[in-house]
Amino acid sequence: MKTRQGGMRKLEIDGVASGASVFNDHIRPITSRVDGIQGFAEVRSKMIFNGRRSKSSLSLALVIAGAVSLGACGRGQTPYDKNLLKNPSFEYVKSGVPQHWQLAHFRGLEGESEVRYGIDNTTAADGKQSWFFDADPGTRRFHFLQQEVEVRDITHVRLRGWMQLDQVNRLVGQYAQCNFLVTFFDEKHERFQELRYADKRTVLKLGTIPWYEEDHMFRVPKGTRYVSVACALGCDGRVWFDNVSLSVPKPPDWQTRRTENFVFHWLPERPFPPGSIENEQLMFDDYAKRLGVKSDAVVYYYLYPDTASIRSHLSIKGHQYVSWDDMEIHVINPNEDHEIIHFITDPYGRPPRSIAEGTVFWLQGQWMGRPIEEISAFHLSIGRLPTIEDLIDLNRVSQLHPVFTMPAASVFVKFIVDRWGTERLMEFYRELNGVNSYDQFAKAFEKVYGVPCKEVEEQYRYHLSKVKFDKASTLLPVQ
């Protein structure tokens, strides 16, 4: 292995600071109904509190947009299985930087110790030369080497590229980059997630590793028009990059059928069972009617043969996915009956999770196959019924088992709907959009219902105290 010596030519580039690295992915995994509910807390709450995707153009987006040359694409469909990057092996160099590639600053301040970089003609995975970054323990200022391509109507990209590492080590004050990064932009050159410096990445590699190839498939946000690929180092050590490829894999052979509120997708090897498409639309109609709303939502419903194919198609760890921004459900269940309720209420607002989930289980009348009122009546009788504040306060609700919180939230939603109706519930949703504390919740409640929340909570508990329950049809957490 080559030792890390400097001596390569350094280039002057303009640096622009990137935004903070806040995770705000709007895709969430569901592992199972119960786990899914627990897993939901994290991602959906982030989604709720961060609000809807905003698309202001940050300096980073502008830099990337402005600094790069666009890959030829024309107006037609992006070709499949073809490397869209130009000069992917860094064999052609102009003024020290590979042609069609750009250096962009991503970390550190002007004047801080800067990463070294350049072409290395003594080692290559392909052709005669490669690109390297080289940093010391004291290096604080880092850059990407990136290229952007234009694409149309794509759902996935495949990133391949070779890396070689020599004593790469993440030290205090440095960053978790020694990998490839992929960033997506819409037709206005704005990012889909503005705060992270990249949307997708290959796994951070550390240590000393001879030339090897990374090969990953990534799902692309709907409406993606530009994709930027970057080679990055953010920590101590030396890394070489070579033979990078970004291609669009030929999509699966999706068959489709449109109904009023869905575009159903399935693969020839597993069609929807007879009647289940009609059923799904009927279920949607029924939920919308019971919520008193007319929904013009269109949900893109993808039915997979098995969970392994979801994982491989989407490059995810979980086995089911919902994308709120793209209105997509990726499942193996031909009659999904939970997420569709969130899709119906979503245009009205994103309330605290307990209210959103409570609405679902109220409409379904049961939780884990048991009647919600009986479960909560039992919990009240043993002093385990959560308060409304427990349900709304993020810290408190995360400490409680869903077996207590979900039925309680459903009964509370049912209680206010029985008394004031669904139109008022949707008004409550609007007031609750983005609300994340009990104080805000109680204010919104009183504004919409004209009564203090505490007063209604007492009535709801009194109501529950009168509900007869059969212990056999209730639930407690498994010890």
Residues within the interface to Ca ion (CB under 5 A):
89-90, 124, 126-127, 242
> Smaller CB distance to Ca ion: residue 123 or 440?
123
Q: Which residues of 359-373 are buried (b: 16+ CB within 10 A; e: fewer)?
A: bbbbbeebbeebbbb
Report the nearest approach of Ca ion to the CB of residue 337 (Å). 53
Min CB(90)–Ca ion separation in Å: 5
From the list 398, 437, 445, the residue with the least C-alpha distance to 420 is: 445
Residue found by looking up tokens 């990059």 in the block:
241
The minimum distance between CB 91 and Ca ion, in angstroms, equals 5
Smallest gap from Cβ 164 to Ca ion, in A, equals 11
Q: Which is nearer to Ca ion, 160 or 370 (CB)?
A: 160
Q: Residue 72 Cβ, how far from Ca ion at the closest point, in Å?
A: 21
Kindly tell me which of 242 and 280 has the beta carbon lying closer to Ca ion.
242
Residue 226 is encoded by which pair of tokens?
A: 């530009």
Longest dimension (CA), the chain: 82
Which run of H or E residues covers position 344? helix 339-345
Residue among 126 and 214 whose Cβ is closer to Ca ion: 126
Closer Cβ to Ca ion, 126 or 326, answer by number? 126
What are the b/e assignments for 141-174, b being 16+ CB within 10 Å?
bbbbbbbbbbbeebbbbbbbbbbbbbebebeeeb
Q: Which is nearer to Ca ion, 241 or 324 (CB)?
A: 241
Name the E strands within 5-155. Answer: 27-29, 93-94, 97-98, 102-107, 116-120, 130-135, 142-150
- Count CB-CB contacts under 10 A for residue 314: 24
Closest C-alpha among 334, 310, 306 to residue 323: 310
Least distance between Ca ion and beta carbon 41 (Å): 46
The distance of closest approach from Cβ of residue 103 to Ca ion in the complex, given in angstroms and rounded to an integer, is 17
DSSP line for 184-226: EE-TTS-BSS-SSS-SEEPPP--EEEEEEEEEEEEE--TT--E
Identify which of residues 89 and 295 has a Cβ nearer to Ca ion in the complex: 89
